[in-house]
Structure 1
Amino acid sequence: MDVLFLPDLRPTWDLEYDTAVVIDVLRATTTIVTALANGALEVVPVASLEEAMEFGKRGYLVCGERGGLKPPEFDLGNSPLDYTRDRVEGRKICITTSNGTKAILCALNFSKRVFLGSFLNLSTLAERLKNVEKIIIICAGNEKTVSFEDCLLAGAIVSKLVGADVSSNGPNESGKFFLSDSAMIVKYLWESVRFPNFHGVHAKKLRELGFSEDVEFAKSVDLYSVVPEFDGNKIVPTNR
């Protein structure tokens, strides 16, 4: 199991992973999980504002942010609290964000199967991953810098999959998983904290922008059971 602190870093092993997990706790993957849990049909991630507007012409809700704020012409921003059932149920969404959607698109370089994670779907995601042999967790980060909150979630996922015990073969082996150095780092980080403690730079910025409720909501553990999967074109909820 490997963890990338940023999408453009090199993985530890030169191989194709069975599954990639993208996490952008504040806020893209938290928002996408919420949208699908509340009945959105699909979410299409794109890199640019212009691409998103083109999807708007096809009846999609145009959503996302730049600098944390909703562009004026967009329907919704990147606040998960805006993606209520009455606003998104039965709708198709196109989203572009500063970090998260780029990480989602990048994940296809590492695996043909891509899941999205948040604290909101932590246990269901871990259950889905328990029989996967080669996993890479990709943290979106914050403007090409490491995100404390993403690392916490990555550690929670690793810890759930391997448990607190390690084998006698060394600290980076537990059960069937061999952990990369980065996977060990986030595992020990999470096990030293044990709860979503959001005090990173981006959490501070969001609070300053007036999104304190988003930060608190993103701490919610196991609120939903949906596991979004990106097929290269769209993100949909999966049951397998």
Structure 2
Amino acid sequence: MIDLLLKPEKSFSNGIAIIIDVLRATSTIVTALCNGAPFVLPVRTLSQARKLRKKTVVLGGERGGVKPADFDLGNSPLEYTQSALDGRGVILSTTNGTRAISLVRAREMAAACFLNLNSAVRAVSENEEVLLVCAGSYGKPSFEDTLCAGAIIYSSGREDLTDSARVAKYLWKENRSRSLVDLLLESSHGMELCRYGFSEDIDYCAQMNITDILPTAKCLLSERGAQKRDDLRKYGFRAFRFHHL
């Protein structure tokens, strides 16, 4: 069965939970792993991120679209270049995406967006129980995340859907012939990013299947673990590739 949360809430899945935050957290996670980050560790609060600051990691994130002054990078995927990362892991805290991740518990976690759509579809096809979680925007459903969830569901060809999953499927079906850039620009979050000067992020995040990387995680750091400053390499999302897509 494929279930879909249109906005994040505390939830548990015995299968795989796939988090979607097109604008921009999961697009940034995918990009960072593509460009050599050994892991991306999402944390809910800025204070938790600061406690994990080390020379061997990059501190990234935003609040209200704006990079905290003491962070290395914001939440624009375009900032996560090979040279900026220099082989370091990423600690990421964002307004919507990392909050959504913190609310979900599952046998396995994955991060999806349009950039790695086919890999997300493959994950859906290979797992009987699937929970798609849209990060939404400020606690409300978002058009772009629901659209991406619908694209994943539609492309999987599966029909064992909850009603919310079916709604997303038909949203994509009705809009799939349109320009994805235009669709993202019409979203409230897309318009907000443009006001902050991040229109190039819209163009980037609207690309489909530019990578086959699927960020996956089986162990995410707890607040208590953050206090211990344990070996961060064992936590967070890492790059996974299917042998054949």
Give the TM-score band, short-chain normalised.
Answer: 0.7 to 0.9
Amino acid at match of 2:80: Y
Asked whether the 8 Å contact 2:38–2:89 carries over to 1, the reply is: yes
Cα 1:192/1:235, change in 2 over 3 Å: same
Asked whether the 8 Å contact 1:21–1:116 carries over to 2, the reply is: yes
Q: CA deviation at 1:58?
A: 5.4
In structure 2, what is the Cα distance between the partners aligned to 1:40 and 1:188?
35
Instruction: Give the match's secondary structure for 1:133.
Output: coil
Asked whether the 8 Å contact 1:41–1:89 carries over to 2, the reply is: no
Identify the match of residue 128 of structure 1 among 123, 126, 147.
Answer: 123
1:202 counterpart = 2:189: yes
Instruction: Give the match's secondary structure for 2:104.
Output: helix
| Pairs aligned (count) | 221
Q: CA deviation at 1:57?
A: 3.3
Asked whether the 8 Å contact 2:212–2:241 carries over to 1, the reply is: no
Asked whether the 8 Å contact 2:13–2:131 carries over to 1, the reply is: no
Instruction: Give the match's secondary structure for 1:220.
Output: coil
Query: Map of 1:57-136 to 2, 5 A cutoff?
Result: 57=54, 59-108=56-105, 111-136=106-131
Instruction: Give the match's secondary structure for 2:132.
Output: strand
TM-score by length of 2: 0.86
Instruction: Give the match's secondary structure for 1:90.
Output: coil
After superposition, the CA RMSD in angstroms is 1.5
Identify the match of residue 224 of structure 1 among 211, 215, 220.
Answer: 211
* Stretches of structure 1 lacking an aligned partner (at least 5 in a row): 163-173
Partner of 1:143: 138
Partner of 1:160: 155
TM-score by length of 1: 0.88
Partner of 1:55: 52
Residues 82-115 of structure 1 deviation map (CA, whole Å, 9 limit, x = unaligned): 001111241111010001001112221xx22011
Partner of 1:193: 175
Partner of 2:22: 25
Amino acid at match of 1:201: S
In structure 2, what is the Cα distance between the partners aligned to 1:219 and 1:41?
25
Q: CA deviation at 1:213?
A: 0.3
Taking only the aligned residue pairs, the percentage that are identical comes to 38
